[in-house]
Amino acid sequence: MKGNSSFVGLGNSSFASLTPAPATADEAEPWVRGELIRSLMRAARGSYLLAAALMPAMVGLSWGHVPRWQLFLWLFLGIVATSFRVWGERVYMRDYADKDSTAQQEYVDRYSFLWMGSAFAWGLSILIFFERTPIVNQFMSWLIVAGVATFPLNGLALYPPLLKRYVNMLFMTMMSAVAYRVVQLEFMRPHFHYGFLLLPVLHWGLLLRSGRRIHETARNSFELLFHNHILISSLTQQRQAAVSAVAMKNRFLASAAHDMRQPVLALSLYADWLRNEPELVEEIAPKIVRATHAVNALFDSLFDLARIDSGQVKLHIERVDVAQLLHDLELQYRPVAEAKGLRFRVHTTSGVILTDPIRVRRMLGNLLANAIKYTAEGGVLLAARQTREGLRVEVWDTGIGIAREHLRDVFLEFYKVADHAGTSDGFGLGLAIVARLSHALGHPVSVRSRLGRGSVFRVALHDADESTAQTRISGAVG
Q: For the structural domain made of 4-14+315-475, what CATH number should be given?
A: 3.30.565.10
What stretch of H or E contains 7? Answer: strand 4-8
Name which of 440, 432, 426 is nearest 476 in CA terms. Answer: 440
Residue 398 pLDDT exceeds 70: yes
What digits encode the pLDDT tens for the residues 290-320? 667 666 655 655 555 555 555 555 677 888 8
Residue 397 pLDDT exceeds 80: yes
pLDDT of 407 reads 72
pLDDT of 12 reads 36
Distance CA 397, CA 333 (A): 13
In this prediction, residue 123 has a pLDDT band, given cuts at 50, 70 and 90, of very high
In this prediction, residue 101 has a pLDDT band, given cuts at 50, 70 and 90, of confident
Percent pLDDT > 70 in the chain is 76
Please say whether the dihedral angle defined by the alpha carbons of residues 312, 317, 323 and 327, taken in this order, is positive or negative: negative
Percent pLDDT > 90 in the chain is 23
pLDDT of 383 reads 92
pLDDT of 260 reads 59
Instruction: Give the residue-averaged pLDDT of 431-459.
Output: 84
Distance CA 103, CA 206 (A): 31
Which range (59-68, 231-240, 303-312, 362-371) has the least confidence? 303-312
Residue 124 pLDDT exceeds 90: yes
Phi, psi angles (nearest 5°) of residue 463:
-60, 135
Distance CA 430, CA 449 (A): 17
Please say whether the dihedral angle defined by the alpha carbons of residues 88, 93, 94 and 96, taken in this order, is positive or negative: positive
pLDDT of 234 reads 80
Residue 355 pLDDT exceeds 90: no
Residue 7 pLDDT exceeds 70: no
Q: Please report, for the chain, how many H helices and E strands are present, in that order.
A: 15, 8
pLDDT of 212 reads 92
What stretch of H or E contains 445? Answer: strand 445-450
CA 422 to chain centre: 41
Instruction: Give the residue-averaged pLDDT of 75-81.
Output: 93
Q: Taking the C-alpha atoms of 367, 373, 375 and 376 in order, what is their torsion angle to the nearest 10 degrees? A: 170
Query: Which amino acid would we find at residue 299?
Result: F
Which range (12-16, 58-62, 413-417) has the least confidence? 12-16
Alpha helices in 111-197 (DSSP H): 112-124, 126-129, 135-150, 153-156, 160-184
Distance CA 282, CA 117 (A): 104
Which range (14-18, 178-182, 229-233) has the least confidence? 14-18
pLDDT of 8 reads 45
Residue 144 pLDDT exceeds 60: yes
Distance CA 312, CA 159 (A): 52
pLDDT of 345 reads 93
299 against 360, higher pLDDT: 360
pLDDT of 184 reads 83
How is the chain split into domains, by residue range? Answer: 4-14+315-475, 45-192, 251-309
What digits encode the pLDDT tens for the residues 172-207? 999 999 888 888 877 666 555 666 778 888 989 999
In this prediction, residue 63 has a pLDDT band, given cuts at 50, 70 and 90, of very high
In this prediction, residue 216 has a pLDDT band, given cuts at 50, 70 and 90, of very high
